[in-house]
Structure 1
Amino acid sequence: MKETIIDSALRLFSNEGYTSTSMQSIAEACGISKASLYKHFESKEDLLIQVFEHSLQRMFQRAQEIAVDETISPKERFTQKIILELEVNQEQRAFVNLIIRAMPIHQNPKVRELMKRTKAALMNWHKICLLEAYGELIRPYIWDIVVVFQGTLREYIVLMMDDYKLMDKSKVAALLVSHLDAIVESTDKPAAILTPSLMNDYERFDLFDKKMSEEEIFNDILTQLVYKKDQSPQNKQNELREAIERLETCFYQGGDQQVFIEALCLYIDARIPIKEEIQRIQHLLKNRKCKEGISK
């Protein structure tokens, strides 16, 4: 239920604005009472903050699915993660701006703390991504590379999202990786400025409590499918429910079910938009096939 509330709040905040969206309208969208809503979230401000954190965590979860894709090289996985971050920023830019307008950072200590945690989370995620792509060779000056990478990426995001400059995200990612290659391969490297001791507060930041299992990832996907089904017209819901149930059965049935799973995904997508969920399922199937090939 909490995830349903968060998804409904994200949609209403983005479409109606923070001020115009009441807790009552969020409760009605979820089919629960206002009192039940307050059992999960103490205030509208608390809900807004948790919606933002949930969106960020979902990006990290999607990135972890890319990270375990052994069918592509570490450098290609890194490129895919950059594209993912650009896509998520495009999807969430209006929502982030909404938070800043609704609760200005300098006026709200909760938002200041949220932005501080977000900065630490992103820096550590980028650190992990860079080490996975380039290996231990870059560890002595990893934080400097993180800052150079983030600064460049941020400027592209601002130009693309705020200034509406049309760019191919895959080309942006490829260019960033090419520049990083040049930095890493350079033989004339000065001493690191951002040493581990200087970045001690970031070094101690724990980004992931645990890695999600295949079952946890798929259950998260099913939650999203059911939520989208519930938002669809009433006359479509029965057939969608049956298709989602068959999809779940095929996924856990074992054997070569890929053709049936892909067909069910296309069937569902023709009735409700599930492009993101299809990509996540495809990653799971690729990883499963890769693991089966290794075990043989």
Structure 2
Amino acid sequence: MGRKEDIIETAMKLFAEKGYHATSMQEIAERSGVAKGSIYNYFKSEEELAVSIFRYHYEVLFRQLKQIEADPALTARERLRRQLTVQIQLFDEHKELVQMQLGEQAVKVSHEVQHLVFRIRAHTLHWYRRAIEDIYGEQVRPVSFDCATMLNGMLKEYLIYLAVDRKPLLPEKLAPFLLDRLDAIVASLLDGKAGLLDETVMADYIAAATQERSQWKERAISCLERMAALRPVEDDILRSLRLLKEELEKGETARRFMVEALLLYLAKYSLPLYNELKEAIERYFY
């Protein structure tokens, strides 16, 4: 673990124990084993550190979810089961994160943290909703927001038992248990019972979940345009850059396997801006 990650882990524990406003940068520095002046080389303020805590752990989570998503051998149901298991395990390993989110810390830290937490919630709901539609088909789409919300609510309560109350719950048992309950919820809502949440009611969540993805797509396209403008560039590289740009511009219908194949092809040329392009594409698809 690097020094920056070590500071994040230490700060998260202190915020969970004492609360955000009762914790000083001096305490974080002392517990981390660094000089107070040195900690500002990594984080300019306590607020920036709090933002980094949420961003760091959710990037780890969504990266792992993406790896499971990319496994073609898994059924939609098995994919969600494994993703839920990973999510539960991660929160079990970092119980302080659950305490931070559920306590006063997430509410009173700052506007930036509140905004980030909202975006994370929106992204998580979008992920659940998409997974539910993959499992149960197009028929569930009109009630998928309700199903995703209830799945999220069930998981949240069990995470409290696990991370806050220290109940001995096994992630590998909890995930399939939640999926079985989801079956009953979906069956009930498909039995003629209308849901409460639709795309109009949830417009702010949809915007939050899709806006960031759109920004990463635009960044990737910008990288491709700048890479194509470099000289000299071989014809094969230019052709691949053009095909990759065309595929990304398809938006939701972009073929992920094609994007990844073109990205892999370009990797062997050690092109300027390649790492920036790769990061933008990975963030767009996760």
Matched, 1:154 2:159: no
**C-alpha separation in 1, matches of 2:151 and 2:36:** 46
Percent of pairs with identical residues: 24
Structure 1 vs Structure 2 CA RMSD: 3.2
Residue 7 of structure 1 is matched in structure 2 by: 5
In the alignment of these two chains, the number of paired residues is: 206
Equivalent-residue separation in structure 2 for 1:178 and 1:195 (angstroms): 24
1:131 and 1:139 in contact (8 A); partners too: yes
Q: Which moved more, 1:102-111 or 1:179-188?
A: 102-111
2:68 to 66, 69, 73: 66
CA distance in 2, matches of 1:83, 1:51: 21
> Structure 1 length as normaliser, TM-score?
0.59
- Correspondence for 1:200 among 203, 212, 225: 203
d(CA) in 2 for partners of 1:180, 1:98: 27
Aligned position for 1:48: 50
Distance 1:200 1:16, change over 3 A: closer
- What is the identity, as a one-letter code, of the residue corresponding to 2:140? I
CA distance in structure 1 between the partners assigned to 2:156 and 2:137 by the alignment: 24
Distance 2:98 2:30 in 1: 21
Determine if contact 2:98/2:159 at 8 Å carries over to the other structure: no
Cα drift, residue 14 of structure 1 = 4.2
Equivalent residue number for residue 168 of structure 2? 166
Measured in 1, the distance between the counterparts of 2:177 and 2:102 equals: 30
Q: Partners in 1 of 2:48 and 2:72 — Cα distance?
A: 39
- 2:61 is aligned with what amino acid? M
Letter in 2 for 1:47: L
| Whole-angstrom CA distance in 1 between matches of 2:153 and 2:174 | 14
1:12 is matched by which residue type in structure 2?
T
Q: 1:181 to 1:11 in 2, by over 3 A?
A: same
Runs of 5+ consecutive residues of structure 1 not aligned to the other structure: 211-251, 253-296
Give the whole-Å Cα distance in 2 for the aligned partners of 1:100 and 1:42.
Answer: 25
Q: Is the 8 A contact 1:5 1:26 kept in 2?
A: no
* Structure 2 counterpart SS, 1:71: coil
Provide, for residues 26-68 of structure 1, a one-character-per-residue CA deviation record: whole Å limited to 9, x for no partner: 9975xx9947x64653312212211221211210110010011
Please show how residues 115-264 of structure 1 align to structure 2 within 5 Å: 115-186=117-188, 187-204=190-207, 205-206=209-210, 208=213, 209=216
Whether contact under 8 Å (1:83, 1:173) holds in the other structure is yes
> One-letter code of the match for 2:196?
I
